[in-house]
Structure 1
Amino acid sequence: MKSEVLLAPFSSPSHGVESNECCDTIMSPAELASGDFGCSHYRRRCKIRAPCCNEIFDCRHCHDEAKNSLETNPLDRHDLPRQEVEKVICSLCETEQDVQQYCVGCGVCMGKYFCSICKFFDDDTSKNQYHCDDCGICRTGGKENFFHCNNCGCCYSKLMEGGHPCVERAMHHNCPVCFEFLFDSRKDISVLPCGHTIHLDCLKEMELHFQYSCPVCSKSIYDMSKVWKKLDEVVASTPMPEIYRNKMVWILCNDCGAKNEVNFHIVAHKCLNCKSYNTRQTQGGPAASCSSDVAEIVR
């Protein structure tokens, strides 16, 4: 798992837990054939009975995909409350029982990692699952590699500890690109320099379309100084018609928040404070209300 100081992708929340209850016993031939059990999300030897609809699914993700599909009546769509699961069904002997790591019927270990809080089973121990009491769910990547930020309300890589920009409940919202809820997403998530969060894949997709600003606050995501120098050259080589040469407009800088009155130019407007071209036109100066910060129509 890679991490960076400003742009730090980290393992998304999963559903295993760090536990001392690992199955170190010799596995039976049936257990060794674990590839025959589980689903596309997890390898395990049990299914769950959904407390919300009383149906049986391989895991909560299988339930959510089925119950939130386009074919499902919108009024019937819902997610499975993971911590309310009370019954599991052994995949080997089909015994239905209370949530526990070992089957009461055949004794099989239903998951090498087991969380009694999240009601989760998983055989893939390479994920280094651990349960975060503050998050209230299980995550992946190893507890020793993460810390929980109480202000942001989520776990971050320790490489960001003491230096990350705090945003209250930073991941308790949908990804601004794909709109999937980030807090318990299984995909890798990046923390932008401004503190807002986004799926790593969505961020890469933005780059492919030359989008280099945060979709939430519009601050620049990367060091754009080389781009600004290039724009200086373009602006200098693009003289404005006589009618616009003395036209002045107010701009708001998305990077530093400063307001400036600058000469109007068709290419871009440069912030006089931080030299950024990540700006937008407004209808008023420093005393104007926030509601008036809309693009001015050039007459």
Structure 2
Amino acid sequence: MYIFLQLYNYVYLQFQHSLTKCDCLMQPITQQQSDHSQEHCNEVMIAKIFKLEPGSRDKSDSDKQIVLKQFTYQTISDERKSYIDSEMKKIYHHMLLEYYDPTIPDYTCLSNFHKREGEYAKNWVEKPLDQQVFAKYELGKSVGCGHYIRGCQVRCETCQKFYPCRLCHDDEEDHDFPRYKTTTVKCNYCHEEQPIQQNCRHCNALFGSYYCDKCKLACNMGVDAKPNYHCDGCKMCMVGLRSESKHCDKCNGCFNVAYFDKHKCIQEKTDCIICLGELTKTIYGRIVLQCGHQLHSHCYHQLINSNILKCPICKRFMPVDQDRESILRWQKKLYRKVFIPFEYEGYVVKVKCNDCSREFPQHHHPLLYYCPSCDLFNCEIIDEYSGIPQQKVMQILKQFENQNQNIIHPRHTQVDDVLQVLQDQFGDAQITLDFLGCELDKTNVAVFGAVLNQFPKTLEELKALYISSL
């Protein structure tokens, strides 16, 4: 199942500049300013967007990595801590090298890449690694809190206390921060109290590269990672490109224009189904699943990265939009590679699709069960055909397969299926067998099925596994 964790090649994991020396404020600061800002340092994620030297075959080899751009992606709050910890260990397929333009914001570049999806193969991540661009992450320091990169603190007009942001305030106080009534800020560098604005009137430090007078919001994440725009419908600033977003009056939320017509309107207020946090007051994006349940974007990605692909409430297939397409494509590829273990040949179970609730027979499979009605792998075993003669059970299965001509069949431990997988994975089945020094027949086909289920990547690895299995 580890292969699912490699699916999110397109995830929006972009960053701004290395902020270890507080250079996120994009202007020189004095030593005095630097000393003061240390009181308000926060931990952030830094992304490095890189390509590989020609001919490289290992994306994790740092000596072969050529950094194209690096920038801050996001702050590290308690809510996202576990999600971010897992991100630090990964390298993502970002896009094809021929489409990457380092002269424009990374967020925009990645968005343009997905808009042109029909121009390149959907399985572009399988192209040679030196034809791709990747993203990886490391920790850094900036100025602000766990929610924002910001060069100032804001004063609550209710309690008259200064806090790094409204969310930090709401975590401590028994009242909500009246963000639209904010009038005063305190510089994190010189501690000057002053009317809210984009720059400090005393030391000229930049509070935020983005400033909205309506929301009284100063934010310095940057356009590479998280560009902002103000939505009058939402009455707040949103992350994304205004040109690619559309407000839904029924949902009272913004959605990507590419998927606007497909989204399911949710009018009632709701909390995140994972962390139970509010979705209307958060700075984090929200995702509406096809089943109608909603959750924070970081909670959604945390589930996906943990290989949880069912809605925790109703069990319907959870991935949305491009995630849905990518995961289903990988599941189909995996289903065509995994063999039913020899000892389970002829063992049939009854499964139920969590999306359409249809019940039907399927060969017992170690990983997945396919529903031809939904074209999804979201089924669970609900019964066994115990007490029914084997011949009768096979007739039931055959009848179901005849009624569903579009069904995807699993791989069986038989000669034809093994030859096909060898052909698909290593290019030529007969040359592969010659390299192994053996013939494929009914006596060793079960061994081949077990060996191929370990996903050997090279002929040498295949041979070693085959020899050790004899």
With the length of structure 2 as denominator, give the TM-score of the two structures. Answer: 0.39
Q: What is the DSSP-based 3-state SS (H/G/I as helix, E as strand, rest coil) of the residue aligned with 2:168?
A: helix
Q: CA deviation at 1:279?
A: 7.2
1:140 aligns with 2:246: no
Paired residue for 1:255, among 327, 339, 355?
355
Counterpart of 1:85, as a letter, is: T
CA distance in 2, matches of 1:189, 1:197: 7
Q: Give the number of the structure whose residues are more often helix, by fraction.
A: 2
Paired residue for 2:155, among 34, 49, 56?
49
Counterpart of 1:158, as a letter, is: V
Counterpart of 1:137, as a letter, is: M
CA distance in 1, matches of 2:253, 2:298: 20
Q: CA deviation at 1:189?
A: 4.4
Matches within 5 A, 1:148-227: 148-162=247-261, 164-169=262-267, 172-187=269-284, 189-207=286-304, 210-221=307-318, 223=328
Structure 1 counterpart of 2:170: 64
Q: What is the DSSP-based 3-state SS (H/G/I as helix, E as strand, rest coil) of the residue aligned with 2:258?
A: helix
Deviations 1:214-249 (A, max 9, x none): 22433223647799999x999994579xxxxxxxxx
Gaps in structure 1 of 5+ consecutive residues: 1-7, 12-25, 68-75, 241-250, 282-299
Structure 1 counterpart of 2:216: 119
Farther-moved stretch of structure 1 (202-211 vs 84-93): 202-211
CA distance in 2, matches of 1:31, 1:123: 21
Q: CA deviation at 1:60?
A: 1.9
Mapped contact 1:9–1:188 kept (Cα < 8 A) = no
Deviations 1:257-294 (A, max 9, x none): 67x7x89xxx9x9989769864798xxxxxxxxxxxxx
Mapped contact 1:9–1:200 kept (Cα < 8 A) = no
Higher relative contact order (CA 8 A, sep 6+): 1
Gaps in structure 2 of 5+ consecutive residues: 1-9, 14-25, 41-142, 319-326, 383-470
Counterpart of 1:114, as a letter, is: Y
Tell me the number of residue pairs that the alignment of Structure 1 and Structure 2 aligns: 239
Paired residue for 1:39, among 137, 140, 144?
144
Q: CA RMSD in A?
A: 4.7
After superposition, the Cα gap between the structure-2 partners of 1:62 and 1:204, relative to the gap in structure 1 and judged at 3 Å, is closer
Q: CA deviation at 1:131?
A: 0.6
Mapped contact 1:165–1:195 kept (Cα < 8 A) = no
Counterpart of 2:356, as a letter, is: C
Q: What is the DSSP-based 3-state SS (H/G/I as helix, E as strand, rest coil) of the residue aligned with 1:83?
A: helix
Q: CA deviation at 1:130?
A: 0.8
Mapped contact 1:270–1:279 kept (Cα < 8 A) = no
CA distance in 2, matches of 1:60, 1:151: 26
Q: What is the DSSP-based 3-state SS (H/G/I as helix, E as strand, rest coil) of the residue aligned with 2:170?
A: helix
Q: CA deviation at 1:50?
A: 1.6
